[in-house]
Structure 1
Amino acid sequence: MPGHLRVACVQMNPLHNQVERNCEYALNMLKKREHELKGLDLLVLPEMAFTGYHWRDADHIQPVLEPANGRTHKWCKSVAKMLNCVVCCGVPRKIRRKRMNSMIVTSPKGKVVEHVDKVHLYESDKTWAQPGEGFTSVEAVEGLPMSPVGFGICMDINPADFKAPPEKFEFANFHLEHKSKLLVFTSAWCKNHPDDRPEAFAEKSDAELSQETIDAWLSRLRPLHGKEVIFVCANRVGKEELRLLGRDSDLCNQFCGTSCVIALQDQTVVKSLSASEEDVLVADIPIPGG
């Protein structure tokens, strides 16, 4: 479609430590919507899409840390060629002695063209991961009709360690400076911080949780409001036990879903999913200035 970007976001509930099952599950989700995915430019999956998110330490996560030829990498290469589109997917990976929470960026030809590493680690990452060296914006990604393309992973959008002044907007100001026009965001955005008091884990309605999540993302992207920038986010759903983090607790953390496409020029939510449904969001977006 001339002057348009066609994107899809997979919103799913991966089963913890069941990589093969989750890869097959995501593929089946796509096959069920195959007729809508013709002409797709970009497919985005959540942070650590096939492994689960909570891990108590480096030994715990070791079996699912991926080398460059790991299962998630192979899935992305295969699906990129199948759909003839760019695929972005979250994965925990090992690079020599380093352990990184990363995003794979795969071209329509099935080639990994970028590894994006999470810079601002969340409490759940700090049990096993090391931070990336800096945020990422690239001049162009083969197969995408918008550029430059910026990337981010969940906590990256927040102040570093929640200690930097909120008005510093490290992530948004980086992409403002680098003139990113398309922001690709993979996420496992949680309803609660692991250290929250038990009463904070009370259930909320899908509508309330989705609105809070959208508001949080828009708030953190404020320097980009009024700019011709498209924000594309794939966030996971479901729950994981805090025990997986090594906490002595019966509580579960809920993931907030709400995968979405937002035009930051006027903060319009072009399309979004609910806080709990497993689905594939498909949207056609007019390219600003295109």
Structure 2
Amino acid sequence: MSSSLRKLRIAVVQLNPKLGKVQANIQRARELCSKLQPQALDLVCFPELAFTGYVFDSASDIEPYLEEPRLGPTSQFCSELAKRLHCYVLAGYPERLSRAEHAPNDSLRSFSHLNGANSAVMYGRDGEWVANYRKTNLYDTDITWAKPGTGFATLELPLPLKKLSLGICMDLNPEREKAWSWETGPYELADHCVNTKTNLLVLLNSWLESPEGEEEDGHDWDTLRYWAARLQPLWVKDGISGRNLPPGSPNDTIVVLCNRSGHEKGKTFAGTSALFKMTKGSGRPVLLDMMTKDEEGVKVWDITV
């Protein structure tokens, strides 16, 4: 093995949170992570809206669970865990909008009925705040309460993480009501990864099970195939029509999809958190590992990068 290669160590926590039971969900996460050892990991990932649950019907429904950035229970837990493990920690949470964002000016008028954002927070090795990201492409459940973000996030981090791009669930899909095709796209998130020379893409999801319902060996294969297909620019053999790779673009992209499991208000989540290696021009994505659909637990992956 070349001396330039090293291990990237990632833990994915596939949770089955109970709606509105924030402290109980955090305690469950703490129990699941109790055997993780300090300095044994580079990154720990939790799903979208990890500790609140996902299916809130309105702005008033989610209001009691909105969290102040850097101060709420998700931030406190992530900071604590990051400091204990001496690694980076990512988790989704419902961010409370600031008073300024509720101000009645023209630029914000279309969002005046919204009270939050579907966000993700990252904490660093010493428990310090690193970044906050807001979901850009909102799902039906989100649009009743969440203000959309302004674009995908890419972070420059120490080795072996390097250049990490972050998305939340529906960010993987085309923009709402936008015409697209498998042949030409658009593939917004994958194109962002190519253009920013991303080597690690992390998606925090609360992705529902596939309506086709193909399940084999406890995995949601339809969902897994769809995730990979929406990232075609990172692996398709002949490229996507009209796209050229920027100079110096990395050949390989590691893709981490951290989904949740369980049921809420008649909805079933796909679980099947997965790890891919995608090599540009290879013609196929390589599935390195995955979890089952109904599993709740921690999966630790060591990847050579």
TM-score normalised per structure 2: 0.82
Residue by residue over 1:101-138, the C-alpha shift from the partner in whole angstroms, topping out at 9 and shown as x without a partner, is 01101111111111011000001111111110111112
* Contact 2:218 2:294 (8 Å CA) reproduced: no
1:161 CA drift (Å): 1.5
Is residue 119 of structure 2 the alignment partner of residue 109 of structure 1? no
Among 69, 76, 90, which residue is 1:88 paired with?
90
Residue by residue over 1:189-245, the C-alpha shift from the partner in whole angstroms, topping out at 9 and shown as x without a partner, is 0126xxxxxxx5x8653547521121011000000116410001210000111xxxx
RMSD: 1.9
Residue by residue over 1:160-179, the C-alpha shift from the partner in whole angstroms, topping out at 9 and shown as x without a partner, is 11534141111111111111
1:62 CA drift (Å): 0.6
Residue by residue over 1:61-112, the C-alpha shift from the partner in whole angstroms, topping out at 9 and shown as x without a partner, is 0111100200000000000011111000000101313511011011111111
Gaps of 5+ in 1: 193-199, 242-251
Residue by residue over 1:225-275, the C-alpha shift from the partner in whole angstroms, topping out at 9 and shown as x without a partner, is 16410001210000111xxxxxxxxxx111001111110115211111011
- 2:157 is aligned to 141
Distance 2:36 2:166 in 1: 26
- 1:197 is aligned to none
- 1:205 is aligned to 215
- 1:220 is aligned to 230
Distance 2:132 2:72 in 1: 13
- 1:238 is aligned to 262
* Contact 2:39 2:87 (8 Å CA) reproduced: no
- 1:7 is aligned to 10
SS across alignment from 1:55: coil
Residue by residue over 1:16-45, the C-alpha shift from the partner in whole angstroms, topping out at 9 and shown as x without a partner, is 0000000000010111x335x751000000
* Contact 1:260 1:281 (8 Å CA) reproduced: no
Which is helix-richer, 1 or 2? 1
- 1:44 is aligned to 45
Distance 1:206 1:236 in 2: 18
- 1:195 is aligned to none
Closer, same or farther: CA 280–206 of 1 in aligned 2, 3 Å: farther
Distance 1:228 1:126 in 2: 34
Among 133, 148, 163, which residue is 1:131 paired with?
148
Gaps of 5+ in 2: 103-114, 237-250
Distance 2:215 2:72 in 1: 37
- Which contiguous aligned blocks of 4+ residues in structure 1 show a shift greater than 6 angstroms? none
- 1:282 is aligned to 300
* Contact 2:218 2:292 (8 Å CA) reproduced: no
Of the structure 1 ranges 159-168 and 175-184, higher mean CA displacement relative to structure 2 is found in 159-168
Closer, same or farther: CA 162–147 of 1 in aligned 2, 3 Å: farther
Residue by residue over 1:131-158, the C-alpha shift from the partner in whole angstroms, topping out at 9 and shown as x without a partner, is 10111112x125x513211000000000
TM-score normalised per structure 1: 0.86
